[in-house]
């Protein structure tokens, strides 16, 4: 678990200080990378944000790349958890709207993670294409099959499961990734943007999925 540490490789168990400093650095790096992108961020910024000297930061991580890579790796897991939680045995519509709500909560609670990921994908995913074509695609394929079954059995409307998933990702992550625009456009109403989005998106996807009467 600590194999990513420059120094920790040598010692089996990380010390308390290692855990603390590593955490500090990752927190600072997330802040900086998610705001300025990989190339736009400097180790100096991250070190300052973390309250460390530059060489001290590099004592814990081998390189700027290594910090970024670790962040992305951790991130993808968290990011996919809600989709994993989609229960094939649950009620289709509530499973999916529940998924929407959980993704929206991630956007509200972890906007920096969302932006870090968005930044990466935007640039063609040079550092995470492997994860996308591997674990991410596998999971999506699997859940798309579940949704497809629901469609075929008539429990939800006929829908392209992949594009359904894309639209859920797009609409929920929008509130994290494009928050500066959303908040600017909403003005005073920005305060309640997540509640309003929850209502709106629940309706949107419920209407989309309700099997047509008849």
Partner DNA sequence: AATGAATGAGTTTTCATTCAT
Partner DNA sequence: AATGAATGAAAACTCATTCAT
Please report whether residue 187 would count as binding a copy of itself according to CB under 8 A.
Answer: yes
Q: Which one, 15 or 142, has the nearer CB to DNA?
A: 15
Q: Which one, 64 or 143, has the nearer CB to DNA?
A: 64
- For residue 21, the minimal CB distance to a copy of itself (Å) is 19
Q: What is the rounded CA–CA span in Å between residue 105 and residue 70?
A: 23
Footprint (CB under 7 A) of DNA, residues 48-67: 52-56, 58-60, 62-65
- For residue 79, the minimal CB distance to a copy of itself (Å) is 11
Q: Which of 15, 87, 186, 191 binds a copy of itself (CB under 8 A)?
A: 186
Give the per-residue contact string, 138-167, with a copy of itself (x = CB under 8 A; - = no).
--x------------------xx-xxx-xx
Please report whether residue 191 would count as binding DNA according to CB under 7 A.
Answer: no
Residues binding DNA (CB under 7 A): 7, 10-11, 15, 17-18, 21, 41-44, 52-56, 58-60, 62-65
């Amino acid at each position: 678990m600590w194999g990513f540490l420059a120094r920790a490789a040598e010692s089996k168990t990380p010390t308390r200080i290692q855990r603390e400093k590593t955490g500090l650095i990752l927190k600072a790096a997330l802040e900086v990378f998610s705001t300025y992108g990989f190339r736009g961020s400097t180790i100096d910024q991250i070190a300052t944000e973390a309250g460390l000297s530059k060489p001290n930061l590099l004592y814990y991580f081998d390189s700027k790349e290594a910090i970024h890579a670790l962040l992305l790796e951790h991130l993808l897991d968290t990011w996919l958890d809600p989709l994993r939680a989609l229960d094939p045995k649950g009620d289709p519509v509530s499973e999916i709207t529940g998924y929407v709500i959980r993704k929206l909560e991630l956007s509200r609670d972890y906007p920096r993670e969302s932006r870090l990921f968005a930044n990466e994908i935007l640039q063609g995913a040079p550092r995470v294409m492997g994860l996308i074509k591997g674990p991410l695609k596998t999971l999506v394929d699997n859940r798309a099959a579940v949704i497809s079954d629901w469609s075929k059995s008539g429990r939800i409307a006929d829908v392209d499961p992949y594009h359904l998933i894309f639209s859920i990702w797009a609409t929920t992550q929008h509130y994290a990734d494009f928050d500066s625009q959303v908040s600017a456009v909403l003005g005073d109403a920005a305060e309640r943007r997540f509640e309003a989005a929850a209502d709106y998106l629940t309706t949107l996807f419920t209407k989309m999925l309700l099997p047509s009467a008849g």
